[in-house]
Chain A
Amino acid sequence: IQMTQSPSSLSASVGDTVSITCRPSQGVSNDLGWYQQRPGKAPTLLIYAASKLLSRVPSRFSGSGFGTNFTLTISGLQPEDFATYYCLQLYSFSITFGQGTRLELK
């Protein structure tokens, strides 16, 4: 399965709402996760199973989608949200990552 993540980069201001999209080349049910990575750190899980928010993650993060179209939305950006975001899916025992979206402060 190929994963198309867009955009590759995004400039926004504190308080903005942004969306990032991932499109698997074939349907993966809802088995898609969203990860945040800060420089020099390992990725950390934000959302799993397409829309389930990890308990420690702020509610301004949300995920939606099914099959071949998934979206991560951050509503009301905070300074700590400027990082790189990756989608990930597990299908047939294989993992595929999106190319990443670098979210930068405008």
Chain B
Amino acid sequence: QVQLQESGPGLVKPSETLSLTCSVSGGSFSNYYWSWIRQPPGKGLEWIGNIHSSGNTKYNPSLRSRVTISLDTSKIQFSLTLTSVTAADTAVYYCARVLGSWLDWGQGTLVTVSS
């Protein structure tokens, strides 16, 4: 059974860059989409973007100018970079494995943007 684990700083200063990594174990890396999703406190889920195991990416248009998702197949990890963060980027960030409408989720990590 696949397991996903997010890691990265829990506090980021405004205007700086948020970087998170998702480590994958117990499953194949190939032929899946890998996704980042976030949830601001008390709010709903927001899709950030996907990367396919082939390296193709697609991002939420509202975040596209600030987001990069990348793969490290040797480490079986994928990463999120979000630049120029503001308080509005404070959220629990989830990574997920995607197969159609079936998502396997990490437990999530809270990132707070504050000086």
- Interface of A toward B, CB cutoff 8 Å: 31-33, 35, 41-45, 48-50, 86, 88-90, 92-100
Cross-chain contact B102 with A33 (CB below 8 angstroms): yes
**Is there an interface contact between B101 and A31, defined as CB atoms closer than 8 Å?**
yes
> Does B44 lie within 8 Å of A99, measured CB to CB?
yes
Chain A contacts for B104, CB-based, 8 A: 45
Q: Are A42 and B101 in contact (CB under 8 A)?
A: no
Measured CA separation A45–B52 after assembly (Å): 21
- Number of chain B interface residues as a range: 20 to 34
Complex Cα gap A71–B37 (Å): 23
Please tell me if the beta carbons of A86 and B44 are within 8 angstroms of each other in the complex. yes
Whether A90 contacts B100 in the complex (CB less than 8 A), given A42-B107, A100-B44, comes out as yes
Closest Cβ of chain A to B78, distance in Å, is: 15
B105 at interface (Cβ–Cβ under 8 A)? yes
Which residue among A31, A43, A93, A96 has the maximum number of chain B CB atoms within 10 Å of its CB? A93
Q: Which residue of B lies closest to A92 (CB)?
A: B58
Task: Evaluate contact between B56 and A93: CB separation under 8 angstroms.
Answer: yes
Q: A97-B45, A100-B44 are in contact. Are A48 and B105 (CB under 8 A)?
A: no
In the complex, chain B residues whose CB is within 8 Å of the CB of A89: 101
Chain B nearest Cβ from A42, distance in angstroms = 4
